[in-house]
Chains A and B, each alone.
Chain A
């Protein structure tokens, strides 16, 4: 790939994602204080010892932001990877098998999508016990409905191509056709979709945490930090806005990269380059 062909906006996105991942990986090394240590007075202004000030319990905001990157990115990434594996396997199976399997999966998927994601999550999380893996699983299953729909549409497009028919006539099995014929040819649009879903997962996780149903305290995560500090807003304390800005920045960065990936695939198809 030609590095020069990457537009400036995509570079910004890549840089932003790289910084976030760096913070997530080396959190204990670069964070000035511990994740749960109370180090000062509550809601100290930014500056001095505490670069971004302190939060509602007197913990260092910058340190929590860095540790929060770890939780937020890990959970969002795990949910996205899981939802993709689930959605793609099911959708490709549906597209290749056709007939009853396809009908059954598709109709069930339609049913799942008839309930708004957030509402569905609220209903399910009201019943299930609060564990991290349950949260990841719920996010993944709800998200995989979207992946299924796109995966099936893309796979159906490819499945009617001549080379797939040739493979069938050669006598290849379904597994070969799914992994060797269809997957490589759908990788590019699905990669863009992966980015989109990842950005969505970050926002969704933050929303759940903000509502108090996502990651439970005292673990730091960006949505939960907004919830912790929201009472300060009335007094003009901007501690809640900083993690909010972090969520927004990361989501924007991912979207910038996705935008470029999407343009790239649409120009490969030789369209007029709109949309």
Chain B
């Protein structure tokens, strides 16, 4: 989708003003910048201050880690508590409009909804930390077991999509910069603009229509079983992977291009140009080292997007992953499953964004000493 279209074009290198993802949310009570020591007690304060002084990098990384955990905690509260606050009763919506009051009462007791929500939240969170997400309302199976099986499938899909799309996107992005404002760049620009506008399911069905139905070279639906060999699995997921790659590629490439162009329009590259250096040498020696941080950022962001993009693609290809599980649960209003899947997707999203943050800090020494 278009979380960060051309508007957020040049990826900011200061790590504070990005448009597409959560950053520097001071939720865990750790101030982002000056004196984290002030917020804490005397003793802890001096220890923390000394730690920052000796190991600024480790302290910064620890801080981001703490922030992410705090954010995840807040998200869990939102996914659980926020939903309680919404109008509508689980039991009534679950049974439908015409349910008798007695039936509603029974099901409330059955599902444990008669306890206060804070108590249910705490027991839910306690279980979730240990990987126990309760039992599904619809099938009465353990949610944790199902997720363990399906999460592997989803990650398998996302992993191969990432392996194909990342080098391709970076390569094409560099190609576009190399031929800036000439024909290859213009073609890449127009094609990627179109690709951004295509819904995932359209791309998916288009691929099915051509490769599975017309030419018969790929399999559909992309079901995988436990007994399948590795190569069989690979051929089964060929089309879903291709869809994910197409969806994420255009985005990643545009952002890569913008990030490298941002570096290319800086003064030292102009100097190198005026010195008479060749274009390739300028890119390899001067631009690339400085573009690493923004490009890594772009990649991590798109991987985070990939985790979510999996949802639609799995439904299209009837692939037994997390996304399919969640969508099925939403249609029958199976809340334990929905909450568990929501939390896990959010966790991946948050931690990949955090990884982007930390990698950017590692790659760009200037970010280690925020002004």
With a CB–CB cut-off of 8 A, which chain A residues contact B350?
A: 114
Asked if B197 and A115 sit within 8 Å, CB to CB, the answer is no
With a CB–CB cut-off of 8 A, which chain A residues contact B149?
A: none
Asked if A200 and B2 sit within 8 Å, CB to CB, the answer is yes
Asked if A213 and B331 sit within 8 Å, CB to CB, the answer is yes
- Pick from B1, B307, B311, B339: contact of A204, CB below 8 A: B1
Whole-angstrom distance from the CB of B231 to the nearest CB of chain A? Answer: 24
Please choose the segment from B114-122, B205-213, B360-368 that sits at the chain A interface, where 4 or more of its residues have CB less than 8 A away: B205-213
Whole-angstrom distance from the CB of B211 to the nearest CB of chain A? Answer: 12
Asked if A123 and B74 sit within 8 Å, CB to CB, the answer is no
Please choose the segment from B4-12, B153-161, B280-288 that sits at the chain A interface, where 4 or more of its residues have CB less than 8 A away: B4-12
Please choose the segment from A74-82, A179-187, A236-244 that sits at the chain B interface, where 4 or more of its residues have CB less than 8 A away: A236-244
Asked if A115 and B342 sit within 8 Å, CB to CB, the answer is yes
- Pick from A107, A127, A129, A244: contact of B83, CB below 8 A: A127
Whole-angstrom distance from the CB of B313 to the nearest CB of chain A? Answer: 11
Whole-angstrom distance from the CB of B121 to the nearest CB of chain A? Answer: 15
A193–B5 Cα distance when bound, in Å, is 9
Asked if A274 and B202 sit within 8 Å, CB to CB, the answer is no
Asked if A274 and B198 sit within 8 Å, CB to CB, the answer is no
Asked if A244 and B201 sit within 8 Å, CB to CB, the answer is yes
Asked if B197 and A252 sit within 8 Å, CB to CB, the answer is yes
With a CB–CB cut-off of 8 A, which chain A residues contact B234?
A: none
Asked if A212 and B331 sit within 8 Å, CB to CB, the answer is yes
Q: How many residues of A contact B (CB 8 A)?
A: 63
With a CB–CB cut-off of 8 A, which chain B residues contact A269?
A: none
1/0 per position for B254-275, CB-CB distance to A under 8 A?
0001100110110000000000
Whole-angstrom distance from the CB of B6 to the nearest CB of chain A? Answer: 6
Please choose the segment from A29-37, A51-59, A166-174, A226-234 that sits at the chain B interface, where 4 or more of its residues have CB less than 8 A away: A226-234
Say yes or no: is A41 at the interface (Cβ < 8 Å to chain B). Answer: no
A118–B2 Cα distance when bound, in Å, is 12
Say yes or no: is B150 at the interface (Cβ < 8 Å to chain A). Answer: no
A235–B205 Cα distance when bound, in Å, is 12
Instruction: Give chain A interface residues in 181-239, CB to chain B under 8 Å.
Output: 189, 192-193, 196, 199-200, 203-204, 206-207, 210-213, 223, 226, 230, 233-236, 238
Instruction: Give chain A interface residues in 28-66, CB to chain B under 8 Å.
Output: none
Asked if B27 and A241 sit within 8 Å, CB to CB, the answer is no
Whole-angstrom distance from the CB of B43 to the nearest CB of chain A? Answer: 28
Asked if B19 and A149 sit within 8 Å, CB to CB, the answer is yes
Whole-angstrom distance from the CB of A32 to the nearest CB of chain B? Answer: 25
With a CB–CB cut-off of 8 A, which chain B residues contact A9?
A: 190
With a CB–CB cut-off of 8 A, which chain B residues contact A110?
A: 22-25, 27, 71
In the complex, which of the residues A114, A128, A192, A252 has the most CB atoms of chain B within 10 Å of its own CB atom?
Answer: A114
With a CB–CB cut-off of 8 A, which chain A residues contact B345?
A: 116, 119
Asked if B7 and A111 sit within 8 Å, CB to CB, the answer is no
Closest chain A residue to B221, Cβ basis: A234
Whole-angstrom distance from the CB of A79 to the nearest CB of chain B? Answer: 14
Instruction: Give chain B interface residues in 218-248, CB to chain A under 8 Å.
Output: 220
Say yes or no: is B37 at the interface (Cβ < 8 Å to chain A). Answer: no
Asked if A127 and B26 sit within 8 Å, CB to CB, the answer is no
Closest chain B residue to A115, Cβ basis: B346
Asked if A111 and B75 sit within 8 Å, CB to CB, the answer is yes
Asked if A248 and B202 sit within 8 Å, CB to CB, the answer is yes
Asked if B199 and A119 sit within 8 Å, CB to CB, the answer is no
With a CB–CB cut-off of 8 A, which chain A residues contact B88?
A: 127-129
With a CB–CB cut-off of 8 A, which chain B residues contact A124?
A: 83, 86
Asked if B202 and A245 sit within 8 Å, CB to CB, the answer is yes
Contacts A236-B214, A259-B6; A122 near B261 (Cβ below 8 A): no
Instruction: Give chain B interface residues in 97-148, CB to chain A under 8 Å.
Output: none
Asked if B333 and A126 sit within 8 Å, CB to CB, the answer is yes
Whole-angstrom distance from the CB of B199 to the nearest CB of chain A? Answer: 5
A-B contact pairs, 27 of them (CB 8 A): A114-B25, A115-B79, A115-B349, A122-B342, A123-B339, A126-B330, A126-B333, A126-B338, A127-B86, A146-B19, A193-B7, A199-B2, A212-B327, A213-B327, A226-B205, A230-B205, A233-B209, A233-B213, A234-B213, A236-B209, A248-B197, A248-B202, A255-B196, A256-B193, A262-B7, A274-B10, A275-B6
